[in-house]
Each structure stands twice: as structure tokens, then as C-alpha cells.
Amino acid sequence: MRTSLPETRSYISPKREAAAAAKRQAVIAAADRLLSSGPAMMSMEAVARAAGVTRLTVYKQFGSRRGLLEAVFDANAERGGATRLRELAQLPDPREALFACIDLLCTFWGSHPGFTKLNEAAFIDPEFAEAIRERNARRHQLFTRLLARMAGDEQARQDAADLIFSLVSVPTFRILIADRQSSDVATLLKSAAAAILDAHKLG
């Protein structure tokens, strides 16, 4: 009769898990601070030094600089309320939903000065470029879905969505925020978006 060996189970102590989580948050916070000084400052070596950990620890936690960047984006999105975009997009009135999303995006972009510099980094850093492209695609999809709910010609809805996507962007925000508050920029962008909707006879 064959006796089966007891199944072995990996065990991770709560203390070890807590320590790993604390290190992860320390690395994200360090990367976030460096990002505020400009994307070029956010090397894996610099992040490790700022967080007080080894570079190997950073790679183990995030896999790559791109993985770390995604974690920083996600942490800021959660803290800045950007995760509410989907919720706002479901408001019954699509025009009201669009304006609410513009308000939130401007507040979010204005809360982190490093974000407005990312588009410059995209020209010289493929990892930043890919991360930005993915987020831009999500924003474009958000506007496309919102305008698809409006009454009007299908081509007009797509044209208006493309125009609003181009208008409500970090490069435009960066230009307008130079001598304005985030709320003032949002007011300007909502006014321009409304003009686009009206010009394309969408309601």
C-alpha cells in the first residue's frame, strides 16, 4: 500500500508580508517624488537610493521601470480620484458626464506637477511612451463612449470625440495651467467642448 506524502504548503508570515508591503509603498513614494522633479530623474538606481532599498528589491517588486511607473500612476490615480472616471461617465446626461470627467481630469493633472512633464519624456524613453499611449487610448475610448450616447450623426459623434480627446489632454493642460488654476482650465476646456458638441449638432 502506497502512503501518500503530506502536501507541503508554502507559508509566508504576516510580518514578512507587511514588511514587503511597506517596502513596496516606500519605493512607490520615492519614485513619485523623483517623478515630480522630471521623468529623467526616475531611474531604478535613484529610486532604490531614495527608498533606502537595493536595486534588486525594486526589480523584484516591480519587474521593470515600466512596472514601477505603472504602480506610481495607479497610486496617484487612486489618491487623486481618477478612478472615479468610469463612475462619472455613467451619469444619465452624457453632456453632464463629459463635463464632470473634464473637471476630474484637470483636478488630477493639476495635483501632480510631474505628470505634465511626461509627454516630453515620451520622445526619449520608450517605456514612458508606451505607458502614455495606453492611458491616452483609454481616455479616447472614454470620450468616444460618452459621445456615442448623444443624439446625432454617427460621423459627427466620432469627429467630436476625436476633437475633444485632442483638446482635453496633458499638453493642452500644461499650456493653460501656466497662469491659471486647475478649475479655471477646466472651465475653459468645458466651454470649448460644449462648442464642439454644438457645432456637430450633438445633444
Query: Cα 110 to the chain's mean position, in Å?
Result: 12
- Residue 121 grid cell: 519624456
CATH number of 81-199: 1.10.357
Average pLDDT over the chain reads 86
Tell me what pLDDT residue 184 has: 97
Q: What is the pTM of this model?
A: 0.76
Give the model's pLDDT for residue 41: 78
Only one residue has cell 480620484, namely 81
The torsion of the CA quartet 90, 95, 100, 103, rounded to 10 degrees, works out to: 150
Burial of 108 (0-12, 13-18, 19+ CB in 10 A): buried
Query: CB-side exposure of 48: number of CA atoms within 13 Å?
Result: 15
pLDDT 10s digits, 76-128: 778 777 778 889 999 999 999 999 999 999 998 888 766 666 666 666 667 77
Q: In this predicted structure, what is the pLDDT of residue 157?
A: 96
Low-confidence ranges of the chain (pLDDT < 70): 1-12, 113-125
- Structure confidence at residue 3 (pLDDT): 52
| Residue-level pLDDT at 78 | 80
Alpha carbon distances (Å) from 59 to 15, 36, 62, 80: 21, 21, 5, 26
As annotated, the residues of the chain forming the CATH 1.10.10 domain(s) are 14-65
Multiple choice CATH, 14-65, 3.30.70, 3.40.1710, 1.10.10, 2.60.120: 1.10.10
d(CA 74, CA 5): 43
| pLDDT value, residue 74 | 83
Cβ–Cβ contacts within 10 Å for residue 146, how many?
21
